[in-house]
């Protein structure tokens, strides 16, 4: 369908009434402005987004949904309010003022006590796939520039806003959002979001959108485990994996954030997102600006699966640091669950030898390698190898890892410091704190205040030195606690709350500079499991740690939730020991592999405990994964049977971009009364191609043909023979030449 629109680009240039139409042919996206109606329009993928200026000068959403014909009429923006209401207008970006009672995008306090801000259209620029609109307060020299950029492949629109103080006095920004997404008016929507906690991330939640506001947020300084900065809104009852309309979006911010979903009294639904306004205050001197986080929004006309596919495609092509063609993730080994803090040169080399023997491509030494780190009470902040554990530094271990044919990765937690560390003894004021108040510890550590220039320089310097002196290919960047007492005593009292923005900007700038100076480096974003997963950090990190919960059964629902918002390419999943450390569940090595192979595969088991049979199984599964990882990481995901809500059977399918390869993973929780496993109907194959099938890690039901057409597999389906508890198998389909 996307190609169909590409062919119509010519027509777009001749849109009746639309002047200043601009086509970004490379991107297959267009932007246009209809001066007669005062309406702007962006088209990309299968999506049209339109907004315009009403007669009061407010910027109002006009349309967001499936792509319209170029000559389809768009409504004239409606006048504001009804007789007794001032605030009904579905504004793109509303200042708090003029009687606004719905969520504002910007709230300012001026030094004279005025807090009224009414933003009206001033000017615009339309170019390529981008539109910029400038709004201005009706009286004061406050300017807001709204940025819109449409992605030609997916129709995902990137929005952000920048406020500039052109008055002669300082002011305080108390709320700064990227803007609002206004949906077509309806009282029949459902909101989907991801909630969780440490060890239980990304649980998919659904609730109806009613006359109330739902707040998804983090007040933790970081992205947090509690909610993902992502939403999807579907038409009630009409939406399945493969059918129905969905509007979705994600915020690119790794600090305290907020997304509100509000149905107002006219049953208009608006989603507003940006910096969390809780405890927020950002002073702007004359001439200064503040830019909101970027907020991405998309539309899918054909169900959740299409939504996930668009997000995945967009993240790989537009967001990740190696975009538009991020390389396939290597199979890694991580030492954490095997050794915890008890690392040593000899012990790591032993693990490395075993990891290499099964086909691992990257060996990662986790926590415990530095300073006096024997447990989590000491050492954070002092980033030199522990001389007892590594008497000759890291080089001998790295050399051994290289000799074994793997590259080397290292765990770091650069934003943190233990009370028991040289760094804290020297610089107790470098942490986030309020003078004279208790300093709350979590996991025996404090958070360094990256907003302080010296702290930023120290953290960058430590990492730069490690990367300059050692051949390190990969950093696992961890952050194992949230903020508390968010003070910045080195700053004037009225400027301390800038920490919420400055910290994260400096965090991003360290990642950016490290990558620029060490272009070969790859980075994983980790925060006590999946506490820092968002589109902001994904611009600088190649993968994310999904959860510390590595139980392969629990992971099915965590990974399922994750897949609604993020690409499987970045979803790290390890094969660890059984019983699992988190919940003591016993599962077979095959089950563990098949669960982890749905994302980016890692091994986190204690290889010293493995039997020869375990090594043989692992070697085979890793070889199979390498042969299918392009399909899993870059293909299209189909959720065939959900693991949620106590489901006894779960299945996913990944199909290669050319539709010639597919792999189906299936998991039975427990066999009951000898019921056979359900029939699985794969999707996304070519109907007329002939595919062979073979089972991996288990068996197909007796009588399954060795080959048949795509139409056969999709319509007739097939089933696995799954017996006992925690049984799993995969089916690999390949089209005949």
Binding footprint of ligand DGJ on the chain (CB under 6 A): 336, 366-367, 411, 478, 480, 526, 528-529, 545, 548
Which residue lies nearer to ligand DGJ by CB, 526 or 662? Answer: 526
- What is the smallest separation between the CB atom of 69 and ligand DGJ, expressed in angstroms? 50
Q: CA-CA distance, 17 to 31, in Å (whole number)?
A: 13
* Angle made by CA atoms 438, 443, 447, in degrees to the nearest 5: 60
* CA angle centred on 583, ends 580 and 588, rounded to 5°: 35
Shorter beta-carbon distance to ligand DGJ: residue 182 or 527: 527
- Nearest approach, Cβ of 527 to ligand DGJ (angstroms)? 7
The whole-angstrom separation of Cα 191 and Cα 208 is 6
Backbone phi, then psi, for 511, in 5-degree steps?
A: -60, -45
Smallest gap from residue 530 Cβ to ligand DGJ (A)? 8
8 A C-beta contact, residue 441 and residue 433: no
By beta-carbon proximity to ligand DGJ, the closer residue of 132 and 606 is: 606
Residue 444 Cβ vs ligand DGJ, minimum distance, rounded to whole Å: 11
Buried b (16+ CB within 10 A) or exposed e, 670-691: ebeeeeebbebbbbbbbeebeb
* Residue with the two structure tokens 């169900």: 303
Q: For ligand DGJ, which is the closer residue by CB, 177 or 547?
A: 547
Using the minimum distance from each CB to ligand DGJ, give the nearer residue, 151 or 337: 337
Nearer to ligand DGJ, 474 or 665 (CB): 474
Shortest Cβ 382–ligand DGJ spacing (Å)? 15
Q: Could you tell me the smallest distance in angstroms from the CB atom of residue 581 to ligand DGJ?
A: 11
CA distances from 298 to 126, 157, 203, 645 (A): 20, 6, 21, 27
Cis bond upstream, residue 324 (ω within 30): yes
For residues 34 and 413, which CB has a smaller minimum distance to ligand DGJ in the complex?
A: 413
Residue whose CB is less far from ligand DGJ, 545 or 625? 545
**How far apart are CB 199 and ligand DGJ at their closest, in Å?**
10
Within 13 A of 36's CA, how many CA atoms are on the CB side? 8
Q: How far is the CB of 609 from ligand DGJ (least distance, A)?
A: 19
R_g over Cα of the chain: 27
Shortest Å distance, C-beta 480 to ligand DGJ: 5
| Least CB distance to ligand DGJ at residue 338 (A) | 12
Closer by beta carbon to ligand DGJ, 381 or else 684: 381
* Residue linked to tokens 């007789």: 83
Q: How far is the CB of 559 from ligand DGJ (least distance, A)?
A: 16
Dihedral, CA atoms, 219, 221, 227, 229, nearest 10 degrees?
110
Min CB(567)–ligand DGJ separation in Å? 20
List, as one string, the DSSP characters of 160-174.
EEEEEE-SSS-EEEE
Shorter beta-carbon distance to ligand DGJ: residue 147 or 329: 329
If the CB atoms of residues 480 and 617 are measured against ligand DGJ, the closer one turns out to be: 480
Shortest Å distance, C-beta 529 to ligand DGJ: 5
Decide whether 552 or 684 has the Cβ nearer to ligand DGJ: 552
Residues 6+ apart with CB under 8 A from 405: 356
Q: Are 231 and 205 contacting, i.e. CB atoms less than 8 angstroms apart?
A: no
> Rounded distance, CA 169 to CA 181, Å?
32
Q: How many C-alpha atoms does 412 have within 13 Å on its Cβ side?
A: 24
Q: Which residues pair with 283 in a beta bridge?
A: 172
CB of 241 vs ligand DGJ, minimal distance in Å: 30
In the chain the first and final C-alpha atoms are separated, in Å, by 26
Residues 6 or more apart whose Cβ sits within 8 Å of residue 151 = 27, 29, 44, 45, 129, 157, 158, 314, 317, 318
Query: Which lies closer to ligand DGJ via its Cβ, residue 284 or residue 410?
Result: 410
CB nearer to ligand DGJ: give 335 or 587.
Answer: 335
- Torsion of Cα atoms, 362 then 656 then 614 then 349, to 10°: 0
Q: Could you give the CA distance from residue 343 to residue 388 in angstroms, rounded to a whole number?
A: 10
The torsion angles phi and psi of 4, rounded to 5 degrees, stand at: -55, -40
349 versus 366: smaller Cβ distance to ligand DGJ: 366
In the bound state with ligand DGJ, the residue whose beta carbon lies nearer, of 24 and 546, is: 546
The DSSP symbol for 494 reads G
With residues binned 3-state (H G I as helix, E B as strand, rest as coil), the percentages for the chain, rounded to 5, are 20, 35, 45
d(CA 43, CA 51): 12
Cβ 116 vs Cβ 97: under 8 Å: yes
The least CB distance from residue 537 to ligand DGJ, in Å, is 15
- The CB-of-531 to ligand DGJ minimum distance in angstroms stands at 8
> Which is nearest to 625 in space by CA: 309, 316, 354, 358?
358
Closest to 665 (Cα-Cα) out of 581, 731, 609, 602? 731
H or E stretch covering 466: helix 453-469
Residue nearest to ligand DGJ (CB): 367
| Closest CB to ligand DGJ among residues 407, 524 | 524
Provide the 10 A C-beta neighbour count for residue 540: 21
For the bound state, the minimum distance from the C-beta of residue 479 to ligand DGJ, rounded and expressed in Å, comes to: 9
Q: Which CB sits closer to ligand DGJ, 601 or 729?
A: 601
Q: Are 597 and 621 in contact (CB under 8 A)?
A: yes
Facing residues of 700 across strands? 720
Closest contact distance (angstroms) between CB of 550 and ligand DGJ is 9
To 10 degrees, the CA torsion angle through 228, 231, 237, 239?
Answer: -100
């Amino acid at each position: 369908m996307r190609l169909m629109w590409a062919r119509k680009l010519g027509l777009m240039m001749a849109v009746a009434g639309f002047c200043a139409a601009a086509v970004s042919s490379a991107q297959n996206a267009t932007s246009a402005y209809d001066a007669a109606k005062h309406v702007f329009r962006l088209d990309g993928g299968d999506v049209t987004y339109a907004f315009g200026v009403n007669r009061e000068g407010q910027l109002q959403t006009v349309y967001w949904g499936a792509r319209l014909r170029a000559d389809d009429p768009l409504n004239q923006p409606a006048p504001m309010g009804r007789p007794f209401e001032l605030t009904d207008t579905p504004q793109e970006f509303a200042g708090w003022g003029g009687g606004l009672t719905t969520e504002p995008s910007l709230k300012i306090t001026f030094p004279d006590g005025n807090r009224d801000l009414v933003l009206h259209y001033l000017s615009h620029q339309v170019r390529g796939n981008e539109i910029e609109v400038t709004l201005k307060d009706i009286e004061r020299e406050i300017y807001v520039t709204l940025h819109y950029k449409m992605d030609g492949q997916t129709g995902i629109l990137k929005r952000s806003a920048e406020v500039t103080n052109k008055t002669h006095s300082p002011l305080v920004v108390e709320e700064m959002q990227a803007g609002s997404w206004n949906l077509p008016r309806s009282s029949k929507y459902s909101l989907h979001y991801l909630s969780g906690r440490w060890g239980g991330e990304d649980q998919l939640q659904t609730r109806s959108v009613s006359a109330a506001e739902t707040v998804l947020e983090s007040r933790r300084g970081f992205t947090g485990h509690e909610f993902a900065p992502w939403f999807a809104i579907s038409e009630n009852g009409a939406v399945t994996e493969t059918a129905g309309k969905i509007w979705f979006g994600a915020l690119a911010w790794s600090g305290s954030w907020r997304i509100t979903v509000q149905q107002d009294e006219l049953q208009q639904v608006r989603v507003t997102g940006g910096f969390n306004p809780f405890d927020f205050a950002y002073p702007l001197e004359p001439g200064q600006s503040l830019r909101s986080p970027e907020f991405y929004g998309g539309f899918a006309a054909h169900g959740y699966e299409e939504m996930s596919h668009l997000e995945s495609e967009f993240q790989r092509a537009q967001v990740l640091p190696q975009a538009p063609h991020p390389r396939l993730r290597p199979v890694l080994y991580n030492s954490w669950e095997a050794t915890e803090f008890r690392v040593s040169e000899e012990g790591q080399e032993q693990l490395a030898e075993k990891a290499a023997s099964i086909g691992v491509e990257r060996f990662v030494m986790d926590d415990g390698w530095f300073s006096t780190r024997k447990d989590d009470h000491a050492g954070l902040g002092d980033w030199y190898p522990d001389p007892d554990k590594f008497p000759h530094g890291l080089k001998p271990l790295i050399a051994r890892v290289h000799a074994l044919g793997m590259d080397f990765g290292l765990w770091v937690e650069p934003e943190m410091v233990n009370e028991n560390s040289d760094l804290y003894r020297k610089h107790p004021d470098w942490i986030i704190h309020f003078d004279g108040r208790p300093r709350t510890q979590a996991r025996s550590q404090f958070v360094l205040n990256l907003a302080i220039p010296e702290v930023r320089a120290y953290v960058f310097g430590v990492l730069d030195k490690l990367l300059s002196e050692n051949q390190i290919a990969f950093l696992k960047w961890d952050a194992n606690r949230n903020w508390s007492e968010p003070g910045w005593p080195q700053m004037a009292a009225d400027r301390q709350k800038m920490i919420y923005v400055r910290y994260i900007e400096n965090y991003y700038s360290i990642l950016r500079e490290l990558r620029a100076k060490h272009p070969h480096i790859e980075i994983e974003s980790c925060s006590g499991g999946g506490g820092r997963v968002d589109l902001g950090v994904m611009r600088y990190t190649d993968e994310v740690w999904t959860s510390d919960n590595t139980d392969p059964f629990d992971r099915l629902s965590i990974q399922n939730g994750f897949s609604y918002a993020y690409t499987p390419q970045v979803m790290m999943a390890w094969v660890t020991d059984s019983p699992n450390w988190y919940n003591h569940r016993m599962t077979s090595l095959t089950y563990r592999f098949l669960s982890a192979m749905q994302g980016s595969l890692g091994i986190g088991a204690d290889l010293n405990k493995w039997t020869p049979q375990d090594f043989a199984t692992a070697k085979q599964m890793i070889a199979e994964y390498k042969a299918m990882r392009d399909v899993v990481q870059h293909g299209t995901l189909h959720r065939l049977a959900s693991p949620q809500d106590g489901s006894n059977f779960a299945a996913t399918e990944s199909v290669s971009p050319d539709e010639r390869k597919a792999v189906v993973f299936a998991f039975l929780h427990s066999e009951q009364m000898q019921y056979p496993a359900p029939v699985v109907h794969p999707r996304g194959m070519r109907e007329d191609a002939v595919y062979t099938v073979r089972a991996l890690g288990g068996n197909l039901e007796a009588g399954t043909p060795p080959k048949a057409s795509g139409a056969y597999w999709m319509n007739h389906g097939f089933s696995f023979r799954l017996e006992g508890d925690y049984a799993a198998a995969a089916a690999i389909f390949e089209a005949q030449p």
